[in-house]
Every structure is written in structure tokens, then in C-alpha cells.
Amino acid sequence: MTDNKLASRLYPTRIDIPADARSKIVAILNQTLAATSDLKSQTKQAHWNVKGTDFYQLHELFDEIAGELEEFIDLVAERITALGGYACGTVRMAAASSILPEYPTEIIAGMEHVTALADRFGPYAKHLREAIDKTNDLGDADTADLYTEVSRTIDKRLWFLDAHLQAAANNSGNGAPATAQNLDRTAARV
């Protein structure tokens, strides 16, 4: 975990948000920075390693999503520094502080990667919505607005991932949720 003092460190600034509130906001933003960096790297992991009949479509989708996440990384890091904070943005810092589980290395099939990403985008989306409320309660409407902007895109991307899984579950004929196990059974029948 990134040193809490480092994640909430403040430099002098003329922004009129009180230092105590800014310190808490910067810590929240640094948690988001870690999770966003981790999610981007996990999305690239899927992009590089996806195989199967949906390869090209998913390869392109994952790359597009990773590009959006890269923009959010920069947006969050720059908001941290605009508030007088220190952006904890190295890969090692992200890995130590991310709220996301490690990406599975044993998967290769497209729907397995879609499931793994959806399982990470869900908690990330929840984190963003919670951050909207927390930063708004701390008197920082601008950061809450940043979170709202990111949240809209992440919810859309989660919808895209879930749509693949919903179709796969529907095609399995059993109405069960789309899990890697159900997807494997579906693939075995084809």
C-alpha cells in the first residue's frame, strides 16, 4: 500500500478548499489513480492475450478501452496536483494500492477475458460513484464532476462487456449467469 502520508501530501496552493478537505480528496484521488492504472494494465493484458473467434473484435475493444483509461489516469493525476497533492502514479504504487484483484493468467478465450474485465469494471464503477459522493461532501464539486465524467464512460464500458456476457448466457439456454464455467459449457456445445 502506498504510504498514506505520501498519498495525502499537500503542497502550498491558493485553491480555496481547506487543507484538511484537500488532503482527504487527494487520498481518494490517489486511490482512484492506483485503480485506474491497474485497470488499464489489466485491460491491456486482455488485449494482448485474447484468443478465439472473437479475437479481432475484442482485441480492438480492449485497446480502445485501455486508451480511455489512459486519459482518465492523466485527468486524475492532474487533478491531484492541481489540488496541491502528490500523484502516486508509478506502476509499483498502483499495484500496491489498487482495489482490484489480480488479473487471471490462465485464461485465453475471448469470453473469459470479457468476464475477467467485467469482474473488475464493476467494483471500479462502484468506487467512482462512492468517490462522487465523498468528494462532493468534502466541498469539491469540481472533483465530483470529474468522477461523474469518468463514471459515465466506465458504466458504458461495463455495459459493453456485460452485453457480450448476456448474449453468451442467453445462448447457453440455461438462463444461468454468464460465468466462465457457463461460457465453457456453451463453447463445448458449439
Number of DSSP helices (H) and strands (E) in the chain, helices first:
7, 0
Q: What pLDDT does 175 receive?
A: 44
Q: What pLDDT does 6 receive?
A: 74
**Residue 106, in any domain of the structure:** yes
Tens digit of each residue's pLDDT (9 = 90 or more) over 55-100? 999 999 999 999 999 999 999 999 999 999 999 999 999 999 999 9
Structural domain for 138, as ranges: 17-165
**Residue 93, in any domain of the structure:** yes
Rounded (5°) CA angle 38-10-83: 70
For the chain, what is the domain count?
1
CB 46 within 8 A of CB 62: yes
**For 137-162, what is the mean pLDDT?**
97
**Residue 184, in any domain of the structure:** no
Cα–Cα dist 14/158, whole Å:
38
Cβ-in-10-Å burial (0-12, 13-18, 19+) of 104 comes to: middle
CB 37 within 8 A of CB 94: yes
| Grid cell listed for 100 | 482490484
| Grid cell listed for 87 | 500523484
For the entire predicted model, the pTM comes to: 0.86
CATH number at residue 122: 1.20.1260.10
Tens digit of each residue's pLDDT (9 = 90 or more) over 4-58? 677 777 888 899 999 999 999 999 999 999 999 999 999 999 999 999 999 999 9
Tens digit of each residue's pLDDT (9 = 90 or more) over 158-187? 999 999 999 777 776 544 445 544 444 434
Eight-class DSSP state of 47: H
Q: What pLDDT does 172 receive?
A: 62
**Residue 172, in any domain of the structure:** no
